[in-house]
């Protein structure tokens, strides 16, 4: 239970930092890069611990990674078609 509490607090802190970045007045692309980096870290923590991917065989992680790459490819393709 202690590990999940620490992870929850880390996720909460990163979400708070993401909100605070909006008010810092950083350059647009610097803010976007910081928010995306924090989002990737949060996604890794959620997938690794709450979805137990770090404790599963590597084949399960590969299946999830392939699905993630496919979803990203479809998202970028849709964004490109809108432009």
**Each residue of 59-78: pLDDT tens digit?**
888 898 898 899 989 999 99
Q: How many other CB atoms sit within 10 Å of the CB of residue 39?
A: 13
Q: What is the pLDDT of residue 50?
A: 84
Q: What is the pLDDT of residue 41?
A: 93
Please give the residue that has the higher pLDDT: either 52 or 37.
37
Domain boundaries, the chain: 1-51, 56-83
Q: Tokens standing for 64?
A: 């999830």
Q: Tokens standing for 2?
A: 């202690």
What is the DSSP secondary structure assignment for residue 26, as one 8-state letter?
-
Q: What is the pLDDT of residue 25?
A: 86
Q: Which of 16, 39, 36, 17 lies closest to 28, judged by CA?
A: 36
Q: What is the pLDDT of residues 10-46, one digit of tens each?
A: 999 999 999 999 899 889 999 999 999 999 999 989 9
Q: What is the pLDDT of residue 16?
A: 96
Q: Are 34 and 26 in contact (CB under 8 A)?
A: yes
Whether the per-residue pLDDT at 83 is higher than 80: the answer is no
């Amino acid at each position: 239970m202690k590990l999940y509490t620490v992870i929850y607090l880390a996720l909460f802190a990163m979400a708070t930092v993401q909100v605070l970045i909006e008010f810092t007045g950083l350059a647009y692309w610097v803010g976007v890069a910081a928010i995306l980096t924090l989002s990737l870290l949060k996604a890794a923590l959620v997938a690794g611990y709450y979805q137990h991917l770090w404790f599963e065989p590597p084949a399960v992680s590969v299946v999830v990674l392939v699905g993630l790459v496919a979803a990203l490819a479809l998202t970028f393709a849709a964004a490109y078609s809108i432009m």
